[in-house]
Structure 1
Amino acid sequence: MGLPQINIEFIGKAVTAIKRSQLGIVALILKDDVQTADTVTYKSIEEVPTDGWSPANLDYIQKTFMGTPSKIIIERLPTTAEDYNAALTRLNNKRFNYLAIPSIKDKETTNIASWIKTKRENKKKTFKAVLPNCEADHEGIINFTTAGIKVGDREYTTAGYTARIAGIIAGLPFTRTSTYYELNEIDSITEIEDPDAAVDNGELILINDGENVKIGRGVNSLTTTTGKKTEDFKSIRIMEVQDLIKDDIRTTFDKHYIGKHNNIYDNQVLFIRSVNAYYDGLEDEEILDPNFDNKSEINVRKQRLAWENIGVDTTDWDDQKVKEMSFKRNVFLAGNIKIVDAIEDLDMDIAI
């Protein structure tokens, strides 16, 4: 009798998807000797004690909250710490969306990028990081490259403003992207000579349009596309939607299916129907394109290959037979969806 319950949960997740999208969590790693706790969590700027952190770190926290994330998790290290490993270990099993380390040096970004990649690819986490001058060529790393950021009488390094950028991205709803997001507090920046080339190179940059300083285009560091990682994977917003869907399906499967149902075709169909109902809800919220056939189904190719790999000849099996022949403890599914992006480009021909 699990179907109604899982349907209700999926429908609820779909309805709240836009609301949850602007409730992202930022993780900060700060080196500080004023604060003594290893892990500190704040849900609003009002909770942050002005005497609880060094002035520089207090400013980083305040800048992060300007973007209105739902929560900031801070992993503190002593100023004498030689690396960030202890903080990363503490973050391993925490839930967050974007990591920033405003005091990081460019030479240290490679290790953080590798950690993010490993968590996304091996541990199935949806962690992402905003890192300075880091050509990671990966959808989980946002390569922020703008320098000379002046706010009042203070000039920030590229690394120093990653906390602000992480806060912005975490606080945005799916109804818009970070492209052309205005940072009204900034007085000036070191402008990049060729912004188009920088964006094509996977750089998140700030631009000055003569009136406002704003984010150029909401891209991550991915530059190399493949059959599996298409141009869409370069978009921060597209990846955020993908990660939300992965998290929703995975957590619901873990909660309602693992160990609770026999692995037979009928039970797999029940789960697939629930996933497709979830897609229908995302279509209603215009997160998925309602004009596209968004659906999941049994992955016939993988299921057939699994049987073949243990010596079973499936030559005489048609696709329906393969679907009905569930394999051991495995559920092989495939999905095809179209995520809606925001309007960002105009190509208009006017004849006169």
Structure 2
Amino acid sequence: MPTNIGLPSLTIVFQAAAQQAANRSKRGYVGVFVRDTQAQGVHQLSSAALIPSELGVDNQAYLARAFEGSDRGAPSKVVAVVIATGTTDTTALDAGLKLIEGMSLDYIAGPPDVTAQEKTLLETWVKGRRANYYIEKLVEPNPATPPDNMGIIAFTETDDAIAAGETTYTAAEYASRIAGILAGIPMGMSATYAPLPELTAVTPRSTEEQEEAVNDGELILIHDGVKAKIARAVNSLTTIPADGNADWSKIKIVEGMDLITYYLRTTIQDEYVGRYPNTYDNKQILVTAISAYLQYLEGAGVLHPGESWAEIDVEAQEKWMQSQGIETAGMTEQEIREYQTGSWVFIKAGGRMVDAMEDFQVTFSNL
């Protein structure tokens, strides 16, 4: 007989996770590092008014820029990580990274005077986190070498070319602003052409140079003569994996993938692992709950309607059975599907991410 694990409660858990993913996608979380002798530690800030007043003026301004967002939204939280001063090594930054390992952030920006060594450390940390299904993405100013990674946004601007009237910024000093914009973009939108109304100048590039930079996986700023804005919202990925898609280079697509992966994984871990017998019926209940979760995200504009699916991964299950010395040649697919697999649960799911409107062709006929 099927075990009674409470399908309605499990479905509600996944619906709550879907709602949480949708809400988080509207107003994400940013981690911003600054170096200061005062207020060292982690400060979770819901508004710029809560920035510690004892911090240096430049550090306060750097944190405040993370809150500005764009006309498409702003982050709901900025986690300020105040680390010790001194840049001779990466000890202070490494200690700061350890302080946020228990958190889940969307974008991070290093200190405004980030060193080359620290950039390498931040890259390594983000790649390691993402390998474990965390969703941090790094806004890295002027990387020494192309990161070629969907979790690294290579923000490339000539130092001091970013100007707001008489005030100029290096790329590193403006990284928190970019991280805040990206975190505040709703999932149905992208950061492409998100305006930066305070800027009066950016790095001068010809159209060909702009296109080359974007194709090289660089997030750059452009000025159309009226206002400054983000060009194409891309990450640094340029080498597409054999099992990947070209749109993995788009920040919007990766953001959606990250949210689904993270919330699906953590919901299963928190609400399912160790709680129920590993029977076929319980696996099917989990599949049903995941399917409902994905359908919710379709309605929220995260996934393309009608294309999401989830099922027991028969191929993976059969490989596991064979690794246990079980002969599967004479078994039907349904028999493999229903076979008891110890503590292992093999499920596969999929869908198609919804992109934003960025490229247009309009034909006008003068009749």
TM-score (norm 1): 0.94
Structure 1 residue 151 and structure 2 residue 155: aligned? no
Structure 1 residue 74 and structure 2 residue 80: aligned? yes
Structure 1 residue 167 and structure 2 residue 167: aligned? no
CA distance in structure 2 between the partners assigned to 1:197 and 1:312 by the alignment: 54
CA distance in structure 1 between the partners assigned to 2:303 and 2:365 by the alignment: 34
For the 8 Å contact 2:189–2:356, the answer to whether it is kept is yes
Structure-2 residue corresponding to 1:114: 124
CA distance in structure 2 between the partners assigned to 1:233 and 1:44 by the alignment: 32
Residue number among 259, 262, 265 corresponding to 2:274 in the alignment:
259
CA distance in structure 2 between the partners assigned to 1:48 and 1:92 by the alignment: 21
Structure-2 residue corresponding to 1:181: 194
Structure 1's 86 and 289: CA in aligned 2 closer, same or farther, altered over 3 A?
same
Q: Which runs of 4+ in 1 moved over 6 A?
A: none
Q: Displacement of 1:103 after TM fit?
A: 2.1
Structure-1 residue corresponding to 2:46: 43
Q: Displacement of 1:26 after TM fit?
A: 0.5
How many residues align? The count is: 348
Amino acid in structure 2 at the alignment position of 1:86:
A
For the 8 Å contact 1:146–1:191, the answer to whether it is kept is no
CA distance in structure 1 between the partners assigned to 2:272 and 2:335 by the alignment: 23
CA-based RMSD of the aligned residues comes to 1.7
Q: Displacement of 1:213 after TM fit?
A: 0.5
- The 5 A counterparts of 1:3-42 are 3-15=7-19, 17-33=21-37, 35-42=38-45
CA distance in structure 1 between the partners assigned to 2:346 and 2:16 by the alignment: 25
Structure-2 residue corresponding to 1:239: 254
Q: Displacement of 1:350 after TM fit?
A: 5.3
CA distance in structure 2 between the partners assigned to 1:333 and 1:306 by the alignment: 13
For the 8 Å contact 2:31–2:108, the answer to whether it is kept is yes
Q: Secondary structure at the match of 1:20?
A: helix
CA distance in structure 2 between the partners assigned to 1:32 and 1:318 by the alignment: 65
Structure-2 residue corresponding to 1:342: 356
For the 8 Å contact 2:147–2:237, the answer to whether it is kept is yes
Unaligned runs of 5+ in 2: none
For the 8 Å contact 1:6–1:252, the answer to whether it is kept is no
CA distance in structure 1 between the partners assigned to 2:169 and 2:141 by the alignment: 12
Residue number among 138, 145, 148 corresponding to 1:137 in the alignment:
148
CA distance in structure 1 between the partners assigned to 2:349 and 2:81 by the alignment: 37
For the 8 Å contact 2:21–2:263, the answer to whether it is kept is no
User: Over residues 11-59 of structure 1, what are the superposed CA-to-partner deviations in whole Å (9 max), with x where a residue is unaligned?
Assistant: 23334544321221101111111x233111211112124x321111111
CA distance in structure 1 between the partners assigned to 2:162 and 2:54 by the alignment: 26
Unaligned runs of 5+ in 1: none
Percent identity over the alignment? 34
Structure-2 residue corresponding to 1:293: 307
Q: Displacement of 1:295 after TM fit?
A: 0.7
Q: Secondary structure at the match of 2:44?
A: strand
CA distance in structure 2 between the partners assigned to 1:326 and 1:227 by the alignment: 33
Q: Displacement of 1:212 after TM fit?
A: 1.0
Q: Secondary structure at the match of 2:195?
A: coil
Q: Secondary structure at the match of 2:196?
A: coil
For the 8 Å contact 2:156–2:219, the answer to whether it is kept is yes
Structure-2 residue corresponding to 1:324: 338
CA distance in structure 2 between the partners assigned to 1:224 and 1:326 by the alignment: 40
TM-score (norm 2): 0.90
